[in-house]
Amino acid sequence: MSRKQMLPQGGGGLADDSGCPILHVDMDAFFASVELLDRPELRGLPVIVGAAGARGVVLSATYEARRFGVHSAMPMTRAMRVCPRATIIPPDHRKYTAVSRGVMEIFRSITPEVEPISSDEAFLDVGGARRRLGSPSAIAAMIREQVAEQYGITCSVGVASNKFVAKLASRQCKPDGLLVVPADGVVEFLHPLPVAALWGVGERTEQVLVRLGIRTVGDLAQVPVSTLQRELGAAGAHLAALAWGRDERPVVAHTPDKSIGNEETFPFDVDDPEAIRRELLRLSERVAARLRASGQAGRTVSVKLRRADFTTITRSRTLREATDVAKEIFATSCELFAAAGLDRVRLRLVGVRMENLRPAGTVTRQLSLGERETGWREAEQAMDKAIRRFGPDAVRPASLVRPPSGPMDL
């Protein structure tokens, strides 16, 4: 397994990481790397993880596939055109979730100051761990070794004085690398980079900057802030600060979810209301399970409905009380679907989301006069236990097991 380090400092010595408490750890081709653990014969070959078919998109690709131009979020049809010999593997999110949890536990064994960004990357503030574990670069090397030894995959780590520079550093040393950017070497590191490397520079912003003759971060750093604000609005001052490596954001150990949702793209457009309601049920089950797993409940139910022409409609309703019960989420989702007036309209995607979240322990259900407690929450908690023990197919609503012969019910 190759292990490379990029430590930019003259004389060939170790970089000065004394002012660099922030690490950005990013798994290399995470989903694909996890799949190769079960398929070692595919190592060194182009592999793409994603759903095959006209609607599928690339979720992950090995670096051998990336050399052909394959990248995440690319339509699968295009990926197969540019890399026709790639092996396509359907995603198995349960495997990725299990490995992700283990990797995050490695991070938290180093420091409690861990801010996950996604399932395969996180920021760490190791300032408080230096006395116990050594310098930031030594801690970064230890993390890489532990991830490789325990899970057989590689990660790249950027070590810097702030989150923005650390993330850029991890990107620069991919795959399987470690890059330290000393606090006094930030400008030297940033200014040769293309301006598109800055957070907030998308395709349109880049076009504006290129029109102004700005192609590198160094070019942008020399432009007056007033000019950038005139051309880009409030984003101008933000980009000016980043061009000089200024980023004051701390590592936030826990950011509560603002919403929890799931959505599904149909393999072909669907105009059958019963089929759509079945999918709303499936999504409501997933969302409710995720709410209970996170110890949260939500008051606002939102549905997302995307027509065949890509027009997207959202509808939401705030409940009297917060809930984590699939039956209640599903009932509201169906009402929102009906209110959208899309009966017999062809849909390509539906989604269910819960917003306005709060800790489930603070939620108390107020029964109306004469109303009886239904016990649905307890029943769904029992389903959670069965699923954890026997797998996701152990328990499910009858309407998701067989074609419905009558009105859908939970």
Q: Are strands 155-160 and 296-307 parallel, antiparallel or unpaired?
A: unpaired
Dist CA 337 CA 280 (whole Å): 9
CB 217, CB 197: distance < 8 Å: yes
26 known ligand binder: yes
- Which position among 121, 279, 285, 380 bears the catalytic label? 121
Whether a cis peptide bond, with omega within 30° of 0, leads into 175 is: yes
End-to-end CA distance of the chain: 51
Q: Return the CA Rg of the chain.
A: 24
In degrees and rounded to multiples of 5, residue 6 shows phi and psi of -125, 105
Place of tokens 């109303």: 371
Q: Give the span between the Cα atoms of 256 and 373, in whole angstroms.
A: 29
- Is 145 tagged catalytic? no
The answer for residues whose C-beta is within 8 angstroms of residue 227's C-beta and 6 or more apart is 212, 236
Nearest Cα residue to 357 out of 293, 281, 283, 280: 293
Question: Per DSSP, what are the bridge partners of residue 357?
Answer: 298
Task: Give the number of other CB atoms < 10 A from CB of residue 254.
Answer: 8
Is residue 28 marked as binding? Answer: no
Q: Which residues pair with 314 in a beta bridge?
A: 304
Which active-site residues does the annotation give?
121
The annotation places the binding site at 26, 120
Annotated binding site for Mg(2+): 26, 120
